[in-house]
């Protein structure tokens, strides 16, 4: 049973080497780190290529119109034969030392998706200004009724191969955990483990207003579907009765 670590990258040149070092330092058994880069021009690709000989590192380069965070993660999974995936940001905000904790419930066959959570006891976001804390908590709060998890906005998670390819395949936005849980509702066993999120020290965030709008649209659609699902059985009831 193999585990691969998927890291989507966009302009992360200064984070690549420290990230690989930190992952290797954890001694977690993994088959490869798959970097999926979408057209970085800051030297990220050269940095990754420079590691491929001496480390279990692979680079997937995407330059076409299909760019985007969720698509990059799926491309990484499709390029690998691993049974389990850990997905994390390149920016060192996701603590590699928690990878074993993320994988444990999956390896024990107790979960299909394990989410690194900032908002359960033991989790934290030290150093965040109050406005950032508030916005993130609001987004996670509105996602809660749809996901049942306290932090569906993060991007640090472990997942079974078949679940990622089945439920995240059509994910389009930045919030792949949210989209995966919403699509897999009822058939995914989801767990949260606490993580202490570190602020990115190098490079810039690619989260944008456009991405926030995408999340708002995905959320509205999911709420709409949930409301329709609740209405449908009630309307079918008389027909079912008359057929018996």
Ligand X SMILES: Nc1nc2c(ncn2[C@@H]2O[C@H](COP(=O)(O)OP(=O)(O)O)[C@@H](O)[C@H]2O)c(=O)[nH]1
For ligand X, the binding residues (CB under 6 A) are 8-10, 12, 36-38, 67-69, 72, 89-91, 155, 205-207
For residue 182, the Cα-to-chain-centroid distance in whole angstroms is 13
Judged by beta carbon, residue 3 or residue 93, the one nearer ligand X is 93
**Minimum CB–partner distance for residue 59 and Mg ion (Å):** 19
- Give the one entry of Mg ion, ligand X, none that residue 9 binds, where binding means its C-beta sits below a cut-off of 5 to 8 angstroms depending on kind: ligand X
The site for Mg ion, by CB under 5 A, has a size of 3
Asked whether position 11 contacts Mg ion by CB under 5 A, the answer is: no
Quote the CA–CA distance of 91 and 11 in Å, as a whole number: 10
Task: Name the token pair of 135.
Answer: 């916005």
Least distance from C-beta 137 to ligand X, angstroms? 15
Residue 8 interacts, among Mg ion, ligand X, none and using kind-specific CB cut-offs from 5 to 8 Å, with ligand X
Rg (CA), the chain: 19
Pick the closer one to ligand X by CB: 12 or 151.
12
Q: Residue number with the shortest CB distance to Mg ion?
A: 89
Q: Any contact of residue 12 with Mg ion (CB under 5 A)?
A: no
Q: How far is the CB of 100 from Mg ion (least distance, A)?
A: 21
Q: Which of residues 88-127 bind Mg ion (CB under 5 A)?
A: 89, 91, 93
Contact between 32 and Mg ion by CB under 5 A: the answer reads no
Q: Which does 206 bind (CB under 5 to 8 A by kind): ligand X, Mg ion, none?
A: ligand X
The least CB distance from residue 200 to Mg ion, in Å, is 6
- Residue pair 124/235 in contact by the 8 Å Cβ criterion: no
Taking Cα atoms as reference points, which of 92, 38, 103, 86 lies closest to residue 65? 38
Q: Which positions touch Mg ion (CB under 5 A)?
A: 89, 91, 93
């Amino acid at each position: 049973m193999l585990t691969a670590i998927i890291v989507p990258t966009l302009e992360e040149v200064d984070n690549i080497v420290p990230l690989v070092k930190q992952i290797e330092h954890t001694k977690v058994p993994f088959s490869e780190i798959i970097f999926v880069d979408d057209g970085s021009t800051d030297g990220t690709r050269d940095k990754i290529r420079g590691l491929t000989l001496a480390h279990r590192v692979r680079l997937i380069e995407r330059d076409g119109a299909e760019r985007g965070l969720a698509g990059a993660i799926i491309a990484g999974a499709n390029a690998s034969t691993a049974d389990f995936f850990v997905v994390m940001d390149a920016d060192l905000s996701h603590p590699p030392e928690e990878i074993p904790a993320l994988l444990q419930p999956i390896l024990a066959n107790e979960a299909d998706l394990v989410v690194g959570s900032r908002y359960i006891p033991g989790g934290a976001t030290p150093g965040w200004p109050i406005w950032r804390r508030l916005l993130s908590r609001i987004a996670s709060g509105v996602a809660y009724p749809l996901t049942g998890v306290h932090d569906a906005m993060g991007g640090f998670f472990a997942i079974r191969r078949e679940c990622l390819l089945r439920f995240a395949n059509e994910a389009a936005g930045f919030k792949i955990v949210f989209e995966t849980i919403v699509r897999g509702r009822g058939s995914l066993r989801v767990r949260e483990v606490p993580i202490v999120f570190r602020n990115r020290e190098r490079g810039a965030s690619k989260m944008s207003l456009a991405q926030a709008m995408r999340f708002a649209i995905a959320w509205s659609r999911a709420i709409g579907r949930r409301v329709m699902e609740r209405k449908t059985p009630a309307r079918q009831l008389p027909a079912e009765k008359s057929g018996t």
